[in-house]
Chain A
Amino acid sequence: MIRFSPTETITNTFRTNELDPINHRKDHDGRFYSISQSVKKQLFSGGGLPKEYKELSETLNGLSIMVRKPAIELITYLNKTNFDAPVNRYVLYGKTGSGKSVSLAHILHYGSNAGMVLVHVPWVPNWVRFPKGCTPSVIHPNKYDHPIESVEWLRHFSTQNGPLMQKLELKTTETYAWSKREMTAVGSPLSELIDLGMNRAKHATDCVSALLCELKKAALSKRCRVLVVIDGFNSFFSPKSRVRREDKSIVLPTEFVLTDAFLSLTRNDWNNGAIVVSVDASAHPSELRESPLPRYQLGKQGFEHLDPFIPIEVPNYSEKEFHSQIDYYVERNWLQQPKARTERGRAELSFTSGNHPLSLMKLVAPY
Chain B
Amino acid sequence: MANLSFVIPMSVMTLFWGIIGGVVPWFIPKGPNRGVIVTMLVLTAVCCYLFWLIAILAQLNPLFGPALKNDTIWYMYYHSS
Q: Do A and B bind each other?
A: no
* A contact set with B: CB distance below 8 Å: none
Q: Residues on B close to A: CB < 8 A?
A: none
